[in-house]
Amino acid sequence: MAEETIFSKIIRQEIPTPLLYQDDLVTAFRDISPQADTHILIIPNKLIPTVNDVQESDELALGRMITVAKKLAADEGIAEDGYRLIMNCNSHGGQEVYHIHMHLVGGQPLGRMLSIK
């Protein structure tokens, strides 16, 4: 069984955080260290440590993460110019909190996604 994370406490509002969206499957809130003008985290309410741990039964929540990203991008006024959705997996992928989450970033030109060596 995966251990609880800070995100688990945010979902339950044990750590008071202004929520931008919450339903029975997902929760969304602003990143505390934004990397762009708009930087929102969208997380499944079920604790799934990494993308490698996703099960078929999680597909509805993962799909909801994308439809919520679309809604929030429109609400934030960044849908027309564009935005980026990012999910990191494990240490080489840059994952810091082991509760999968999607970063919705935008509000400015983001440039290339990766610098290829």
pLDDT at residue 116, as a whole number: 59
Catalytic status, residue 101: yes
Catalytic residue among 39, 92, 99, 101: 101
Q: Determine the pLDDT at residue 111.
A: 86
Residue in 27, 30, 50, 39 with CA at minimum distance from that of residue 99 = 50
Question: pLDDT at position 113, please?
Answer: 76
Number of H helices, E strands in the chain: 2, 5
Structure tokens at 31: 């990143």
Q: What is the pLDDT of residues 42-52, one digit of tens each?
A: 999 999 999 99
Contact 84, 65 (CB under 8 A): no
Which position has the token pair 């945010």?
A: 10
Q: Which domains does the chain have, with CATH numbers?
A: 6-106 (3.30.428.10)
Look up the pTM and report it: 0.93
Distance CA 101, CA 35 (A): 15
- The list of the chain residues with pLDDT below 70 reads 1-2, 114-117
